[in-house]
């Protein structure tokens, strides 16, 4: 017995499990940094102050380096990779300790079994999810391009209610994508009202981030206003050179909405390129009914010509960034060798002149082979900085837990938070360190109603 009693006494002698001495604390509120020591008991901050005479089971000297809350990433696509790398090293190494899934209108459904799998997976990070409007709609209507009937809306509301009971943080929409694109705003509002009544928020990958970006911001605000819930423009950006500079107008719309009492906010990542499927170059109507239906449309010459015209237009003025070299493959499951090659490279390799018309043909061929994940260079640095600087903007990666060494992925999964700190705080001084940390911790915590997270505070 003696050694056991001694063992217990030994641990009682230390009031803290961890004491971090002499830290420069950037506390997540945006307030200027200050020096203090931090004592942690279990998984909770117990004391902040002068602990020079205290020791923990573990003592660390921060030597005046920054101590900040773990970062919260409100927009990730980690639900596949997190089970391959439960340590989520690409996020943990940036200081991100909470990942939110289910964005862009797409989530696991039902949510409960997925969250149970997450709960038992021994992750290095906290993990939460939204429920996706596109997923709800697909469960009831499939990929059909039409309005939902009143009964179908009731079914979606019931599924949304269950997802909220299962633990969803709110409703995500991806009205750019199929089937979200086929949804009238009224139908989204009907579901948002259910989610809002249960305390959820709304996060919006907008219907249009290019020529129609202002209308899409208005739609996002309207969903919040009529749905009775906080609403957020996610990964806010302005796509297409002809539209560059319009973030001045979109930010003004958001500020005006707030001035009249709509809780509308923004998240963004610090890059001038986006990433999504090559299907983003296709008109949404051509994707109704799924891949088989697309192949049938491409086999009909008149429809093929209409599809191609839209692809040409999108290369010129939208996600294609005005030039086929601005669309770079990240991952092509059917031909991994294409990763890192642009639409221009692939068109040339097929022996064709690199024209926008021929690049559209290449895009069609790619889609006929089930498409690729791609990186689209079509955003201006000026808009990136203006959006990051807005007090309404928090930082989110839109990334995933990648399979290391595979493909040529967008760097956002590995670098979003580090890049904000290195480039936009240290090098360009677009943000102060305190602002940047607030946008990564205290701000997303309050948006998610995680009132005991995101700040360096006792408890």
By CB under 5 A, the count of residues binding Zn ion is 2
Neighbours of 61 (CB within 10 A): 12
Gyration radius from the chain CA atoms: 24
- Least Cβ distance, residue 428 to Zn ion (angstroms): 25
Q: For tokens 């956002």, what's the residue?
A: 412
Neighbours of 422 (CB within 10 A): 13
d(CA 404, CA 40): 34
Nearer to Zn ion, 202 or 341 (CB): 202
Nearer to Zn ion, 193 or 247 (CB): 247
- Least Cβ distance, residue 234 to Zn ion (angstroms): 6
Cis status of the peptide bond prior to 179, with omega within 30 of 0:
yes
* Residue closest to Zn ion (Cβ): 205
- Least Cβ distance, residue 176 to Zn ion (angstroms): 8
- Least Cβ distance, residue 336 to Zn ion (angstroms): 24
Burial of 84 (0-12, 13-18, 19+ CB in 10 A): exposed
DSSP string, 171-216: EEEETTSTTGGG--HHHHHHHHHHHHHTT-EEEEE-S-SSTTHHHH
By rule CB under 5 A, what string of x and - marks binding of each residue 177-206 to Zn ion? ----------------------------x-
Q: Determine, following the binding rule CB under 5 A, whether residue 104 of this chain makes contact with Zn ion.
A: yes
- Least Cβ distance, residue 274 to Zn ion (angstroms): 8
Nearer to Zn ion, 20 or 287 (CB): 287
Nearer to Zn ion, 202 or 205 (CB): 205
List all residues 6 or more positions away from 41 whose beta carbon is below 8 Å from its beta carbon: 15, 16, 17
- Least Cβ distance, residue 205 to Zn ion (angstroms): 4
Nearer to Zn ion, 101 or 104 (CB): 104
- Least Cβ distance, residue 287 to Zn ion (angstroms): 16
- Least Cβ distance, residue 183 to Zn ion (angstroms): 16
What's the Cα-to-Cα distance from 199 to each of 75, 161, 194, 455, rounded to whole Å?
Answer: 19, 11, 9, 22
Nearer to Zn ion, 185 or 232 (CB): 232
Q: Enumerate residues 199-238 that contact Zn ion by CB under 5 A.
A: 205
- Least Cβ distance, residue 68 to Zn ion (angstroms): 26
Contact region for Zn ion (CB under 5 A) — 60-68, 91-99, 103-111, 131-139? 103-111
Residue 63 backbone dihedrals phi, psi, to 5 degrees: 50, 35
By rule CB under 5 A, what string of x and - marks binding of each residue 1-30 to Zn ion? ------------------------------
What is the arrangement of strands in the sheet containing 327-331, beginning at the earlier edge strand? 273-277, 373-377, 327-331
Contact region for Zn ion (CB under 5 A) — 46-54, 66-74, 100-108, 408-416? 100-108
* Residue 262 in tokens: 């709509």
18 forms bridges with which residues in the sheet?
A: 40, 58
Nearer to Zn ion, 153 or 239 (CB): 239
E strands in 342-398: 373-377, 393-395
Structure letter (DSSP) for residue 427:
I
Cis status of the peptide bond prior to 207, with omega within 30 of 0:
no
Nearer to Zn ion, 173 or 358 (CB): 173
Nearer to Zn ion, 193 or 220 (CB): 220
By rule CB under 5 A, what string of x and - marks binding of each residue 431-450 to Zn ion? --------------------
Nearer to Zn ion, 205 or 410 (CB): 205
- Least Cβ distance, residue 276 to Zn ion (angstroms): 7
Q: Enumerate residues 71-90 that contact Zn ion by CB under 5 A.
A: none
Q: For tokens 């796509």, what's the residue?
A: 239
- Least Cβ distance, residue 18 to Zn ion (angstroms): 37
Q: Using alpha carbons only, what angle is made at residue 416 by residues 405 and 48, rounded to the nearest 5 degrees?
A: 120
* 267, 231 contact by CB (below 8 A): no
Nearer to Zn ion, 16 or 414 (CB): 414
- Least Cβ distance, residue 132 to Zn ion (angstroms): 11
E strands in 281-426: 327-331, 373-377, 393-395
What's the Cα-to-Cα distance from 423 to each of 17, 31, 388, 392, 416, rounded to whole Å?
Answer: 35, 21, 12, 20, 10
Nearer to Zn ion, 27 or 104 (CB): 104
Binding site for Zn ion (CB under 5 A): 104, 205
């Amino acid at each position: 017995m003696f050694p056991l009693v001694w063992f217990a006494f030994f641990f009682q002698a230390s009031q803290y499990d961890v004491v971090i001495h002499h830290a420069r604390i950037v506390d997540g509120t945006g307030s200027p940094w200050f020096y203090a020591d931090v004592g942690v008991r279990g998984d909770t901050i117990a004391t902040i102050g002068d602990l020079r005479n205290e020791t923990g089971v573990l003592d660390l000297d921060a030597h005046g380096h920054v101590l900040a809350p773990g970062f919260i990433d409100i927009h990730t696509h980690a639900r596949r990779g997190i089970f391959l790398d439960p340590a989520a090293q690409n996020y943990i190494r940036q200081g991100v300790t909470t990942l939110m899934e289910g964005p862009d209108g797409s989530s696991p459904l039902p949510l409960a079994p997925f969250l149970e799998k997450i709960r038992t997976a021994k992750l290095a990070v906290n993990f939460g999810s939204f429920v996706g409007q596109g997923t709800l709609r697909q469960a009831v209507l499939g990929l059909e391009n039409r309005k939902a009937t009143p009964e179908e809306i009731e079914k979606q509301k019931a599924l949304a209610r269950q997802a909220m009971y299962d633990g969803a943080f709110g409703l995500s929409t991806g009205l750019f994508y199929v089937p979200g694109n086929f949804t009238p705003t009224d139908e989204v509002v009907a579901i948002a009202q259910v989610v809002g009544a249960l305390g959820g928020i709304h996060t919006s990958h907008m219907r249009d981030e290019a020529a129609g970006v202002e209308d899409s911001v208005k739609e996002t605000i309207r969903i919040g206003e009529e749905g009775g819930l906080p609403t957020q423009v996610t990964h806010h950006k302005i796509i297409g050179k002809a539209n560059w500079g319009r973030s001045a107008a979109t930010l003004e719309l958001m500020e005006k909405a707030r001035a009249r009492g709509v809780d509308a906010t923004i998240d963004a990542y610090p890059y001038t390129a986006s990433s999504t499927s090559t299907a983003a170059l296709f008109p949404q109507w051509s994707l109704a009914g799924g891949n088989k239906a697309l192949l049938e449309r491409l086999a009909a010459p008149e429809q093929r010509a209409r599809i191609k015209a839209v692809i040409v237009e999108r290369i010129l003025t939208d996600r294609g960034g005005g030039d086929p070299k601005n669309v770079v493959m990240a991952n092509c499951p059917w031909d991994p060798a294409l990763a890192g090659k642009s639409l221009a490279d692939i068109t040339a390799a097929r022996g064709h002149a690199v024209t926008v018309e021929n690049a559209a043909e290449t895009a069609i061929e790619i889609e006929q082979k089930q498409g690729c994940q791609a990186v689209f260079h079509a955003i201006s640095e000026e808009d990136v900085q203006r959006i990051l600087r807005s007090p309404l903007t928090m930082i989110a990666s839109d990334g995933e837990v990648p399979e290391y060494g595979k493909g040529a992925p967008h760097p956002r999964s590995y670098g979003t938070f580090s890049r904000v700190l290195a480039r936009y705080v240290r090098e360009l001084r677009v943000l102060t360190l305190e602002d940047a940390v607030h946008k990564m911790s205290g701000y997303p915590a309050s948006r998610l109603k995680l009132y005991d997270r995101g700040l360096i505070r006792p408890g």
